[in-house]
Amino acid sequence: MSDSIDTASSAAVGLAATVQFSRSELEALCSKAARGAGMSWGMAEEAGYASGWLSGRGIDSTRTLAVYLHLIQEQDWRGSFPVVHEQHWQACSSEQSLCPIVLGATLSDYARVQPMLFEDEGLSMSALFFPHLLLPFLAWVVQDLHRPLYLRVDGHDVCVRVDIGLRVLGDLDALLSIEEASVRISLTGGELIDGQSLPFDEDVAAEQLFSGAVSVLMSDVDSLQQLALLTTVPSSAASRANAGASHSDND
Amino acid sequence: MVELTPTDLSRHAPVGLRTPEQVMRLARLGSAHPTRLSFLRILLRRMRREQWQFERTKWEIDSTGVGVAIYKARGPDLTYSLVVFAHDLPDQMRSDRVIATAWDATFTLFDGEPTAADIERLQSNVPLQEAGRISATELILSRANRSVRLFAYVVDCLSQGLQPDAQQLTDVGYLMRTTAVYGTGKFGAAGRRNLENRDHFLGPFQAEMLSVWLTRQFVVDIVEHIAKSRSGEKAVRLAPELRLLLGVGNSTGLGMAPFIVRHPVLLHNWMMVREEALSRVRSCEQASARAIGAMRVSLEAAIHNAAGWRSEHPVQVVKLEQLRADLIRVTEQLNGMDLTAFRPWNTLWLWAEDTLSLEGQEALLSILLEPYGELVDDLSQFLSAKERQSFRLDGAMKVGTLRALLETHYAWALSIDFTQADNTARFWYVSEEKLEPRLGERASEEGAELEQPLCIARFAQSLFDQLKQWEDEMPVANFVLQHPEARLMVRRAQMSARHAYAEIRDNLIAKDMLPIDLLRYKLAFFGASHFDPRSDRWVRISLFQGMPYPDEFKNIPVREIGVE
């Protein structure tokens, strides 16, 4: 095994190989996997964006995304789209939970249409998969609002705000561990003292934002690659024949 | 008192840019020539200005040409090292395609100076290329194959104490050709975001160009080394005027095509810069004697370049004939013109648009920019793009506005008849076997349901049709929630509002589409010359031909090297 593939120990998974990915490479892989799992091209790009955004802030979302994408592969993805009402959004299909990528993108789209979306009691959402995948989209929304947003999941409050860079206050670790939950997004929330500060893209130097590569588990990469391969076409004689030059390369 | 009339004012207004309708067509893009704003020229200019130093710091190559070499490039702030692994490749294993698993030489551009441990790590990964893994301390991964015939011939000549025939060198143009140069985050390498704070890599593909330029030095060094290993003191080095004739070859297939479609904002910036540069030169009201002299030199250089350009591909053979004939006409026109008149270059340009082939017109663009570095070189700072700033969809945009954007920027797509089989004859896909982009025939090949999203014309038309059911006042947010499949095209259409040159305005799945046009377009921006199509989807080129080598960079007067 080469040096660039390290052996890392992790309490959760035991001994597992990790591999270094650049952010752009990770975004590309996540986009392809999302497409392979059945998302439209444009929504698959949003999945790539979300993974890249999180990885650039030290949050590895490859595992969650891989798990989620394998899940929707089995389902009708459209059933996980939100039905948009004033104060409460839920999935189209009563059998399904909301897709965090579609929900995030839709929140970003609607935040500019309905600036009052998060006023008063805020916007509540019934069951949502992997709520932390919303963070990259909420980062967009808080820029529009110029006000902090509070994300309440399972009794945990996380605040997304832009002041000196983007800050996420609250128990981020708790948020990351939640697989499925109801969510409320509002302009007010409980008092939060401790928290993590995540740098925001445009406000910090690239080197601060992202020190180099992301270390991801080989098993998660494999899982995403398995889906990404579903976007490819098996080879045929015609396909091979058309791929190269018409002369020999030995000249 | 003299009155200033509107006519006087408009006379001095800058000449407008060529429109996207005019320039974003495949046939014209496929006739693109390198210019002084090409990426390799930008790199050389900067390195000269900043007095970069170059040094070969390691040469452990045996008599068969196998081993390790390192070339160091030291700038004012940072140092980079090209680490080379030279191999002994049997002829039957030599393939330019991405399916190859072995090469004559493999390279990585290292960020800094590698330690022994770094070299050991790179030794077990770089020769494997795609099957290996590099890290954020590496910027580029690449490989090259020998031009077997020319390489062996040059080694033979030098080992016998003779210089090779200049014509034979010119005919091929390189001793080795790269078959892939991977950068920006590929296979674990440092990503674009890591380099954003380094001024010298702000321009597009600057690390790639540096890597290829250092490779050019290695190629000459190894030829001389093998000749010397073979016959000792009898061997001679390649004469400076002969090695100048050699660039680094490059062999490129469809892999490059999707990049152009997937980076619309970047594409727009490249085109805007080029068109703005042309407009600035055309707007020059008087040509100085110095500029006229330089223009004649520039034209001579183009004629010389066209004379040494070889291709056997029928499409390119015709284009080369046109080019050579056009350049003679430009010479005649220039000789017969009153160059002291108002805006002489604009007069020449307007004549060319009516008279010359596309190949000739685009060559003239390159010729015109050459003497005007002071006027156009500053534009190179606008070639990059912060694509993420245009990524977020604007959900508040009204459907009517989106519709208008399509009518304005995609009229060319809306008029294509997609019920005609010829207009949907092809589909782009990625092969499972090699993960490389390929182009299939829809009627006869499997896999069209897995088509890649490069058929922008069809997407635009389909979006336009879907929007017919929607009221002008509805926000786009509502539309994309109902039509997630349109999200990609909505994003592109929104980008087009501020990036008019973002789209290639041709149908990329049409039966008669020539993929080599896409390749040439991108390669010309790199600074490639001597385009030699090997099929309708495969092209060989030469990089850095006629430019100085690292080992002579500081000794060659500026005016002789064509970089200032």
Residues B370 and B459 in one domain: no
- Asked if residue B433 lies in contact with residue A216, where contact means CB atoms within 8 angstroms, the answer is no
Number of domains observed in the structure of chain B = 3
Q: Which residues pair with B176 in a beta bridge?
A: B146
A contact residues 145-204, partner B, Cβ 8 Å cutoff? 201-202
pLDDT of residue B558: 53
The verdict on residue B457 lying in a domain is yes
Angle between helices B289-307 and B314-336 (to 10 degrees): 150
Q: Which domain holds residue B299?
A: 264-384
The answer to whether A25 contacts B185, with C-beta atoms less than 8 Å apart, is yes
- Asked if residue B187 lies in contact with residue B262, where contact means CB atoms within 8 angstroms, the answer is no
Residues B169 and B304 in one domain: no
**Which domains are delineated in chain A?**
1-74+212-231 (1.10.1530.10), 80-202 (no CATH)
- Asked if residue B175 lies in contact with residue B154, where contact means CB atoms within 8 angstroms, the answer is yes
The verdict on residue B11 lying in a domain is no
- Asked if residue A27 lies in contact with residue A45, where contact means CB atoms within 8 angstroms, the answer is no
The answer to whether A5 contacts B133, with C-beta atoms less than 8 Å apart, is yes
The verdict on residue B533 lying in a domain is no
Q: What is the pLDDT along chain A (251 residues), one digit of tens a residue?
A: 233 333 333 333 333 588 878 788 899 999 999 999 999 999 999 999 999 888 877 788 999 999 999 999 888 889 999 999 888 999 999 889 999 999 999 999 999 999 889 998 899 998 999 999 999 999 899 888 888 888 888 887 888 876 655 667 777 788 888 999 999 999 887 665 555 555 554 444 443 444 456 788 999 999 999 999 999 999 877 777 766 555 555 56
Residues B348 and B332 in one domain: yes
Neighbours of A8 (CB within 10 A): 13
Q: Identify the helix (H) or strand (E) that includes residue B44.
A: helix B39-49
DSSP letter (8 states) at residue B90: -
The answer to whether B136 contacts A22, with C-beta atoms less than 8 Å apart, is yes
Residues B337 and B401 in one domain: no
| Complex ipTM | 0.89
CA atoms within 13 A on the CB side of B528: 30
- CA gap B508, B423 in Å, rounded: 9
Q: What is the pLDDT along chain B (564 residues), one digit of tens a residue?
A: 567 677 777 888 999 999 999 999 999 999 999 999 999 999 999 999 899 999 999 999 999 899 999 999 999 999 999 999 999 888 888 877 766 788 999 999 999 999 999 999 999 999 999 888 888 899 999 999 999 889 999 999 999 999 999 999 988 899 999 988 998 778 888 877 677 778 888 889 999 999 999 999 999 999 999 999 999 999 999 999 999 999 999 888 888 889 999 999 999 999 999 999 999 999 999 999 999 999 999 999 999 999 988 888 998 999 999 999 999 999 999 999 999 999 999 999 999 999 999 999 999 999 999 999 999 999 999 998 888 889 999 999 999 999 999 999 999 999 999 999 999 999 999 999 888 899 999 999 999 999 999 999 999 999 999 999 999 999 999 999 999 999 999 999 999 999 999 999 999 999 999 999 999 999 999 999 889 888 888 888 999 998 999 988 877 655 544 444
- CA gap B308, B171 in Å, rounded: 7
Closest residue in A to B490 (Cα–Cα)? A42
- Asked if residue A137 lies in contact with residue A105, where contact means CB atoms within 8 angstroms, the answer is yes
Interface test with A, best of B94, B139, B393 (most A CBs within 10 A): B393
Residues B282 and B203 in one domain: no
The answer to whether B254 contacts A235, with C-beta atoms less than 8 Å apart, is no
Residues B242 and B374 in one domain: no
The answer to whether B188 contacts A21, with C-beta atoms less than 8 Å apart, is yes
The verdict on residue B115 lying in a domain is yes
The answer to whether B481 contacts A81, with C-beta atoms less than 8 Å apart, is yes
Q: Which one of A22, A112, A240 has the shortest CB-CB distance to B191?
A: A22
Q: Which residue has the tokens 């590569």?
A: A213
The answer to whether A242 contacts B188, with C-beta atoms less than 8 Å apart, is no
Closest residue in A to B95 (Cα–Cα)? A249
Q: Which one of B135, B445, B535 has the shortest CB-CB distance to A213?
A: B135
The answer to whether B434 contacts A235, with C-beta atoms less than 8 Å apart, is yes
Find the radius of gyration of the CA atoms of chain B.
25
Residues B377 and B403 in one domain: no
The residue among B445, B443, B440 whose CA lies nearest residue B430 is B440
SS3 B482: helix
pTM for the predicted model, two decimal places: 0.90
Residues B318 and B375 in one domain: yes
Domain boundary among B354, B384, B414: B384
- CA gap A153, A131 in Å, rounded: 8
Residue B489, chain A, CB below 8 Å: the answer is yes
Domain boundary among B474, B496, B518: B496
Residues B174 and B214 in one domain: yes
The verdict on residue B532 lying in a domain is no
Task: Return the structure tokens found at B300.
Answer: 């001579």
B contact residues 159-198, partner A, Cβ 8 Å cutoff? 184-197
Domain boundary among B343, B363, B384: B384
Residue A250, chain B, CB below 8 Å: the answer is yes
Name every chain B residue with its beta carbon within 8 A of the beta carbon of A109.
Answer: 393, 395, 475-477, 480-481
Interface test with B, best of A20, A142, A250 (most B CBs within 10 A): A250
pLDDT of residue B526: 95
Q: Which residue has the tokens 């700072």?
A: B381
The verdict on residue B10 lying in a domain is no
Return phi, psi of residue B357, to 5°: -70, 165
Residues B123 and B173 in one domain: yes
pLDDT of residue B378: 94
Residues B146 and B56 in one domain: yes
pLDDT of residue B498: 93
The verdict on residue B504 lying in a domain is no
The verdict on residue B557 lying in a domain is yes
- Asked if residue B181 lies in contact with residue B211, where contact means CB atoms within 8 angstroms, the answer is yes
Name every chain A residue with its beta carbon within 8 A of the beta carbon of B537.
Answer: 242
- CA gap A191, A157 in Å, rounded: 9
Residues B459 and B356 in one domain: no
The answer to whether A21 contacts B91, with C-beta atoms less than 8 Å apart, is no
